């Protein structure tokens, strides 16, 4: 891996993690389209450390409020007190389905879908259609304060689909929130806060594996460069999306998914090339 490649991958991760366009699909397809080797899922997950840092830094006040709410709930032995305490538990609840699905199906998905570019491109297009439908049909009249146990659990179950490249963690959780009636910005905000525990858990597991097995053929410097790039671009992506959806819809991201997914499929058909 060259330095420019690690930085490019970090930029892709920073954009794809928070914009609803699927970071995993781009991390798989873009290197193949450019003729680069597969840098492996360990490197892909390490880039999530950068985007995890980005969301923690951006939402540091919200996360501090959630921590205080959790402590308050333990002290009062009630989770239904302040909004912060309720939201903390809703995030925990919504994390469980994705964590369980990751434990059960990660290896299966890694060995099958990851090496099927046509399927990944098709899922990019399909998820774009679902996002556009939710954006058009969702009532968008609920603030984050209106979240309930049922809606948090529904969004959590949808997050389990993010294991499949092409669906997108932010894309599927934002889509679910829109379908449930949440406002554009509130759907994105909950999606971003929900990313913290699931990405933290995946990062810890990969760090343990890296500690045991090393970095392989990728230098520590390139790892660090990729993580730093994903942090900077991820932070800017969060800031951009939250401002963008205050006055505009998610349709441009759905259209991008259509164009990119169709472009990959047409490229494969025209060249007779199978990526991977």
Tokens of 39: 């840098």
Tokens of 83: 């909004």
Report the run of H or E that residue 28 belongs to, with start and end: helix 23-33
Burial of 269 (0-12, 13-18, 19+ CB in 10 A): exposed
Residue 276 inside a domain? The answer is no
Tokens of 193: 């806060």
Domains: count for the chain: 1
Residue 214 inside a domain? The answer is yes
Residue 69 inside a domain? The answer is yes
Residue 216 pLDDT class (50, 70, 90 cuts): low
SS3 91: helix
Tokens of 114: 């990851």
CA 59 to chain CA centroid, nearest Å: 16
Burial of 117 (0-12, 13-18, 19+ CB in 10 A): buried
Residue 147 inside a domain? The answer is yes
The packing angle between helices 3-18 and 23-33, to 10°, is 150
Residue 8 inside a domain? The answer is yes
pLDDT tens-place string over residues 146-204: 999 999 999 999 998 888 889 889 999 999 999 999 999 999 999 999 999 988 887 78
Residue 189 inside a domain? The answer is yes
Beta bridge partners of residue 142, listed in sequence order: 182
* Better pLDDT: 26 or 82: 26
Q: Which residue range forms the structural domain that includes residue 204?
A: 3-271
Among the listed residues 150, 164, 56, the one whose alpha carbon sits nearest the alpha carbon of residue 94:
150
pLDDT at res. 87: 93
Burial of 247 (0-12, 13-18, 19+ CB in 10 A): exposed
Find the largest Cα–Cα distance for the chain.
Answer: 64
Mean pLDDT of the chain: 89
pTM score: 0.91
Tokens of 253: 């991201």
pLDDT at res. 214: 65
Residue 82 pLDDT class (50, 70, 90 cuts): confident
Cβ distance 251 to 135 under 8 Å?
yes
Q: What's the residue count for the chain?
A: 276
Residue 215 pLDDT class (50, 70, 90 cuts): low
């Amino acid at each position: 891996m060259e330095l420019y490649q690690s930085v490019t991958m970090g930029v892709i991760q920073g954009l794809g993690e928070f914009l609803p366009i699927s970071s995993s699909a781009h991390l798989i397809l873009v290197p193949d389209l450019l003729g680069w080797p597969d840098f492996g899922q360990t490197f892909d997950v390490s880039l999530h450390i950068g985007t995890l840092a980005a969301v923690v830094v951006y939402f540091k006040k919200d996360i501090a409020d959630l921590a205080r709410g959790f402590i308050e709930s333990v002290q009062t032995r009630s989770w239904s007190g302040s909004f912060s305490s309720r939201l903390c538990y809703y995030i925990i609840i919504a994390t469980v389905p994705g964590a369980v699905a990751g434990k059960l199906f990660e290896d299966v998905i890694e060995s099958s879908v990851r090496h099927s570019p046509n399927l990944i491109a098709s899922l990019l297009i399909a998820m774009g259609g679902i996002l556009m439908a939710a954006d058009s049909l969702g009532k968008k009249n609920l603030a984050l304060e209106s979240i309930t146990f049922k809606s948090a659990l529904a969004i959590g179950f949808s997050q389990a689909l993010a294991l499949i490249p092409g669906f997108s963690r932010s894309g599927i959780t934002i889509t679910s929130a829109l379908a449930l009636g949440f406002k554009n910005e509130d759907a994105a905000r909950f999606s971003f806060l929900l990313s913290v525990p699931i990405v933290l858990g995946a990062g810890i597991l990969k760090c343990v594996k890296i500690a045991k097995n090393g970095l392989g053929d990728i230098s520590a410097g390139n790892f660090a460069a990729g993580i730093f790039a994903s942090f900077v671009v991820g932070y800017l992506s969060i800031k951009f999306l939250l401002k963008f959806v205050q006055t505009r819809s998610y349709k441009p991201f759905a259209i991008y998914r259509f164009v990119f997914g169709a472009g990959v499929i047409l490229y494969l058909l025209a060249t007779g090339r199978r990526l991977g």
